[in-house]
Amino acid sequence: MPPRPFRIDVPDSVLDDLHERLDRTRWPDAIPDTGWDYGADVAYVRELCDYWRNEYDWRAQEAALNAWPQFLCEVDGVDIQYWHVRGRGPDPHPLLLTHGWPGSMFEFLEFIGPLTDPAAHGGDPADAFDVVIPCIPGFGWSGKPAERGWGPARVADALDHLMTAELGYDRYGAQGGDWGAIISTRLGAAHAGNLSGIHLNMALAGPPDPPTEADEAALASRRAFQAQETGYSNVQGTKPQSLGIAQADSPAGIAAWITEKFRSWSDCDGDVESRFSKDTLLTNIMFYWAPNSIASAARIYYEARAEGGMGRGAGAGPITVPTGFAAFPGEILVSPRHWVEAAYNLVHWTDMPAGGHFAAIEEPDRLLQDVRAFFRRVR
């Protein structure tokens, strides 16, 4: 089915229901002075939800999201929501930007102007891109898969079909972090002939076998993350619907679950609002609340396990397409350069001075410049 124009238009009844639920939230107790030690800080989430109820302006955010051309396209039986903005320059290069969890396409909103019209933002017109920014199936206003099997490999196949068969691009680049990095990697494994290159800000590359003493610091970081930060993944990878029922009923529950990750996984030194305003946090959360997609989004973890895990997977050897990597110091999954070099055709590497897992929002200028620099080499 060909692409069809789309606009986000949340009914007033959904917003009224949101406000009523926020008013009726039953808050748990908390041990005094524990803050975020036990998970989400009840006091901060109450403050965020009070702002959501009384000050947050969804209609202003909705208008900003709708300011760029947006579409739905049915691929493999599921609608994909996406921005598609043509570049202004001598030869715009197609670029697919894919988000992760608990993010959304909103992460890339501020990239659209500089990437598509660099001259208007102080850049070189030769760096112009045709930008395609989808919501992963099950996320946001994309369709919710009604059958098993929509793991990252199938998502990658669907996005390649969108780029080539539906939008008519013979060759394109891909960028992403989190699931966007995994999906971009799988594009590189399964659809290398269609790709000019992939740019990542997260990789699940592993150490050599056996690892050397020099690998120990990265392995210790990985073990600490596994021990302290993967409860969410184990739940969403095994019993996502049990949690989804609770979250679909409670906006405060979604706010707590997602905001805790933005604090824990970012380079914010414990102060979430040093990196993300309340408006930023809540607009991203609205991609899960308004279309009731919190449960369908979480299922990608279950489906990834069914595919064989969240790594490069699918029995693929080293990724042969040219690969660029932006290494942010606060990234939750540490991947030393020689690990990435063994897994990818690494032609570009940048050590960033600041930023964490949500690089597109935390350090948008640095990530933007690195994307431009990498694709100058391969476009």
Whole-model pTM? 0.97
The pLDDT of residue 33? 97
Per-residue confidence at 312, pLDDT binned at 50, 70, 90? very low
Please choose, from the candidates 191, 218, 199, the residue with its C-alpha nearest in 3D space to the C-alpha of residue 369: 199
The dotted CATH code for 4-378 is: 3.40.50.1820
225-240 in b/e form (b: 16+ CB < 10 A) is eeeeeeebbebbbeeb
* Low-confidence winner among 135-144, 209-218, 290-299 (lowest mean pLDDT): 209-218
The confidence band for 311, taking pLDDT boundaries of 50, 70 and 90, is low
For range 70-82, the mean pLDDT = 98
pLDDT value of position 214 = 86
- Please report, rounded to a whole number, the percentage of residues in the chain having pLDDT higher than 90: 96
Q: Where do the structural domains in the chain lie, given as residue ranges? A: 4-378
pLDDT of amino acid 309: 72
Q: Give the 3-state DSSP-derived string for 183-221, with helices as H, strands as E and coil as C.
A: HHHHHHHHCHHHEEEEEECCCCCCCCCCCCHHHHHHHHH
What is the average per-residue pLDDT within 248-260?
98
Q: Report the side by side order of strands in the sheet with 70-75.
A: 4-5, 70-75, 78-85, 129-134, 93-98, 172-176, 195-200, 319-327, 344-351
Q: How confident is the model at residue 313 (pLDDT cuts 50, 70, 90)?
A: very low
Residue 81, pLDDT score: 98
Q: Please tell me the predicted confidence (pLDDT) of residue 1.
A: 76
Is the pLDDT score of 18 beyond 70?
yes
Q: Within a 10 A sphere around the Cβ of 278, how many other Cβ atoms? A: 17
At residue 83, does pLDDT exceed 90? yes
pLDDT confidence bin for 316, thresholds 50/70/90: low
pLDDT at 314: 42
Q: If pLDDT is split at 50, 70 and 90, which confidence band does 61 have?
A: very high
Torsion of CA 245, 247, 251, 256, to 10 degrees: 160
Tell me 308's DSSP state: T
Q: How confident is the model at residue 138 (pLDDT cuts 50, 70, 90)?
A: very high
Distance in angstroms (rounded) separating the CA atoms of residues 2 and 11: 26
Residue 243 scores a pLDDT above 50: yes
Distance of alpha carbon 291 from alpha carbon 141, whole angstroms:
6
Say how far apart CA 366 and CA 379 lie, in whole Å. 20
Q: Which residue has the higher pLDDT, 148 or 213?
A: 148
Lowest mean pLDDT among 3-17, 69-83, 212-226: 212-226
**What number is the average pLDDT over the span 77-84?**
98
pLDDT (0 to 100) of residue 315: 42
In this predicted structure, the answer to whether residue 153 has a pLDDT above a threshold of 70 is yes
Q: What is the mean pLDDT of the chain?
A: 96
List residues with catalytic annotation: 178, 301, 357
Cβ neighbours of 281 (radius 10 Å): 23
